[in-house]
């Protein structure tokens, strides 16, 4: 199904309830059939079935994507956009078809608005280098939020240092929700750019990006959305959001590492300066002058990760066949169940309780450091992330050095939530 | 009940985590250093009084995981009353054991600290166990109570020269 809405399109199903007939897409969400698509989920870790709850860091790959990578390397590989021979044409067609799949997945107007990058970090850096260095100058202001991942902080700090610009930061409340009044009051005549995460990787807060974009646009300020945590979990529609840039990573959405997408509004991409120079991004080259290729090629210097792009195309085919609304509904059920169970546990505190939240649960276990929690859970086959989640300013704001984080994907089960809860109880027992 | 096949969270470690020995800061230490592991947020202070060549008093304080805290606690117990050079030897042997380069059975010095041998199988946690020892080494070479400069940063010290 196509991605036409930027919000959860289906109402969340509560545990034990059945949706009304016709309320859900026709294909039933069969969790066992889905899990069978992921060979890695059959692994045992420490002699226990793997319970993989680190999906915000990286997701697992279904057999269909693995098979697509193998088929490409086995029968289709050559360099793209160059030779006239059969394999080069096959590889080029596969690569550009993947671009089209990604265009449809985020509902971009045109395929040339989809730039293949190495990942979200690469996409944000591309905007900083290509747009920021050209259009942001001394005294200008960039608005970010305290929820940002380091990858949407550090590039802008580098730019601010170089240009003499200033970074202004949108605060949160204790639940981890952005404070929109403060956001709006940060704008002034020097505001040039806004960077905001769609979903917080550390807390799961879903930010009101559509409203924030409308406010910025009313003041002529472009907005970049870091969609690394959103593209895998809800239907993203860049036209509905009306964002100027949207960056995300393939490996968090069942695709390979080393590939990501930067969506950019065509007019902005055309106005930007190239970031990397080299082959494929040029039109003509002489030692006197080089003219640049059109978008998206202007931003894809050198041989791209062709196999990874084609693999990402297969990943969005896979996700679209399930349906992002189904994905979001199932993950919401997991979130609901996990939040309730963890709230019942004495000595466990949820960190981040935004009303609008994705299936990311940061938590603290009283008296036990997250690294001890993580090591002991691993001995039960349970994979969670522990640490600062590449969001040190956010950890400082929350007054914690680190948290444990369980982050879910559509292939996780309610039984795995229960395994996590039992695991945390076990950790508490070890520590007495 | 969680199994602990690596034997890491043994009672002696849990006990030192619950009731850390020599916990706090010495009032007027002759040597002090701060150890920071920015990746996981472990942050400890080690202060000591050297009387001549002897570690007369030692204390540690900080925020850290159980492995780091128990390692620091047991370290203070192990080096208190020892000569500086004996302490330096122990630092070297502990780091070698934690990184899997020394079998504790081949050491005359490791003793009860052998409970940390299993950490070598958990590469992501090795730094937790080692941080107090690097911080102690930094304290030995640091000016009294001065804050740790970059060149005394315990995590900047290559493991190989331990």
- First-to-last alpha carbon distance for chain B, in angstroms, is 37
Residue A9 has pLDDT above 70, yes or no: no
Whether A372 sits inside 8 A of B122 (CB atoms) is: no
Residues A291 and A205 reside in one and the same domain: yes
> In chain B, which residue ranges form alpha helices assigned H by DSSP?
11-18, 66-79, 84-98, 123-141
pLDDT, one tens digit per residue, over A22-46 is: 444 445 789 999 999 999 999 999 8
pLDDT of residue A359: 97
Residue A75 has pLDDT above 80, yes or no: yes
Domain span at residue A43 reads: 31-57+323-430
- Residue A390 falls in the annotated catalytic set: yes
Provide the domain count of chain A: 2
User: Does residue A125 lie within any of the structural domains?
Assistant: yes
Residues A362 and A280 reside in one and the same domain: no
Q: Identify whether the C-beta of residue A196 lies closer than 8 Å to the C-beta of residue A223.
A: yes
Percent of chain B with pLDDT over 90: 69
Lowest mean pLDDT among A202-206, A209-213, A393-397: A393-397
Q: Chains A, B: CB contacts under 8 A, how many? A: 58
Question: What pTM value is reported for the model?
Answer: 0.89
Residue A366 has pLDDT above 90, yes or no: yes
Find the CB nearest A369 among B5, B8, B64. B64
Residues 113-152 of A with CB under 8 A from B: none
CATH number at residue A139: 3.40.640.10
- Does B66 contact chain A (CB < 8 Å)? yes
Lowest mean pLDDT among A117-121, A192-196, B32-36: B32-36
Whether B41 sits inside 8 A of A375 (CB atoms) is: no
Q: Identify whether the C-beta of residue B6 lies closer than 8 Å to the C-beta of residue B118.
A: yes
Percent of chain A with pLDDT over 90: 87
For residues A55-64, give the mean pLDDT. 98
Residues A209 and A313 reside in one and the same domain: yes
Confidence band (pLDDT; 50, 70, 90) for B103?
A: very high
Residues A155 and A285 reside in one and the same domain: yes
How large is the C-alpha radius of gyration of chain A? Answer: 22
Percent of chain A with pLDDT over 70: 94
Confidence band (pLDDT; 50, 70, 90) for A243?
A: very high
pLDDT of residue A388: 86
CATH number at residue A41: 3.90.1150.10
CA distance A392 to A148: 9
CB contacts, 8 Å: A432 with chain B: 14, 18
In chain B the domains, ranked by start, together with CATH numbers, are 11-139 (3.90.1010.10)
DSSP β-bridge partners for residue B44 = B35, B62
User: Does residue A423 lie within any of the structural domains?
Assistant: yes
pLDDT of residue B40: 73
Confidence band (pLDDT; 50, 70, 90) for B6?
A: low
Residue A233 has pLDDT above 70, yes or no: yes
Nearest-neighbour CA in chain B from A114: distance (Å): 34
User: Does residue A138 lie within any of the structural domains?
Assistant: yes
Residues A256 and A118 reside in one and the same domain: yes
pLDDT of residue A27: 57
For residues B106-130, give the mean pLDDT. 91
Confidence band (pLDDT; 50, 70, 90) for B108?
A: confident
Whether A388 sits inside 8 A of B18 (CB atoms) is: no
pLDDT, one tens digit per residue, over A263-281 is: 999 999 999 999 999 988 9
Q: Which of A320, A351, A383 is the last residue of a domain?
A: A320
Confidence band (pLDDT; 50, 70, 90) for B143?
A: low
Q: Identify whether the C-beta of residue B121 lies closer than 8 Å to the C-beta of residue B114.
A: no
């Amino acid at each position: 199904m196509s991605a036409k809405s930027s919000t959860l399109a289906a109402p969340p199903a509560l545990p034990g309830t059945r949706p009304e007939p016709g309320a859900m897409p026709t294909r039933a969400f069969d969790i066992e059939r889905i899990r069978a698509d992921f060979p890695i989920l059959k692994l045992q870790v420490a002699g226990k079935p793997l319970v993989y709850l680190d999906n915000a860091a990286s997701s697992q790959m279904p057999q269909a994507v693995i098979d697509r990578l193998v088929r490409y390397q086995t029968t289709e590989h050559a360099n793209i956009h160059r030779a006239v021979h059969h394999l080069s044409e096959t590889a080029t067609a596969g690569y550009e078809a993947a671009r089209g799949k990604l265009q449809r997945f985020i509902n971009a107007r045109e395929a040339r608005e989809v730039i293949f990058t190495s990942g979200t970090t690469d996409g944000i850096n591309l905007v900083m280098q290509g747009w920021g260095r050209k259009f942001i100058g001394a005294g200008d202001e960039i608005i970010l939020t305290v929820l940002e991942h380091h990858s949407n902080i550090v590039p802008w700090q580098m730019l601010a240092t170089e240009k003499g610009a200033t970074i202004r930061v949108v605060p949160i409340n204790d639940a981890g929700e952005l404070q929109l009044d403060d956001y709006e009051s940060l704008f002034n005549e020097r505001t040039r750019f806004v960077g905001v995460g769609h979903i917080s990787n550390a807390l799961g807060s879903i930010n009101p990006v559509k409203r924030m974009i409308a406010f910025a646009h009313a003041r002529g300020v472009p907005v970049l959305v870091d969609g690394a945590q959103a593209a895998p979990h809800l239907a993203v529609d860049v036209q509905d959001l009306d964002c100027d840039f949207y960056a995300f990573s393939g490996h968090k959405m069942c695709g390979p590492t080393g590939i990501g997408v930067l969506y950019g509004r065509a007019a902005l991409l055309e106005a930007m300066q190239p970031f990397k120079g080299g082959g494929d991004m040029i039109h003509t080259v002489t030692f006197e002058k080089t003219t640049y290729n059109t978008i998206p090629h202007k931003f894809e210097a050198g041989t791209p990760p062709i196999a990874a792009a084609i693999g990402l195309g297969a990943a969005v085919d896979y996700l679209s066949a399930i349906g992002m609304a189904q994905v979001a509904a199932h993950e919401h059920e997991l979130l609901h169940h996990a939040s309730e169970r963890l709230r019942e546990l004495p000595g466990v505190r949820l960190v981040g309780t935004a009303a609008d939240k994705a299936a990311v649960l940061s938590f603290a276990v009283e008296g036990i450091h997250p690294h001890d929690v993580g090591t002991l859970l691993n001995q039960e086959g349970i994979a969670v992330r522990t640490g600062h989640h590449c969001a040190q300013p956010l950890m400082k704001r929350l007054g914690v050095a680190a948290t444990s984080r369980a982050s879910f994907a559509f292939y996780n089960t309610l039984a795995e939530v229960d395994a996590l809860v039992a695991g945390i109880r076990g950790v508490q027992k070890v520590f007495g | 009940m969680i199994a602990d096949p690596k034997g890491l969270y043994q009672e002696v470690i849990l006990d030192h985590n619950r009731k850390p020995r020599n916990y706090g800061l010495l009032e007027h230490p002759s040597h002090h250093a701060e150890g920071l592991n920015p990746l996981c947020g472990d942050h400890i202070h080690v202060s000591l009084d050297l009387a001549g060549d002897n570690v007369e008093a030692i204390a540690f304080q900080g925020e850290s995981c159980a492995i780091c805290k128990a390692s620091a606690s047991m370290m203070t117990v192990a080096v208190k009353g020892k000569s500086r050079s004996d302490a330096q030897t122990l630092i070297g042997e502990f780091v070698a054991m934690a990184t899997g380069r020394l079998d504790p059975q081949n050491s005359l010095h490791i003793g009860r600290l052998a409970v940390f041998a299993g950490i070598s199988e958990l590469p992501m946690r090795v730094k937790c166990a080692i941080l107090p020892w690097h911080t102690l080494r930094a304290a030995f070479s640091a000016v009294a109570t001065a804050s740790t400069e970059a060149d005394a940063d315990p995590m900047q010290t290559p493991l190989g020269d331990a």
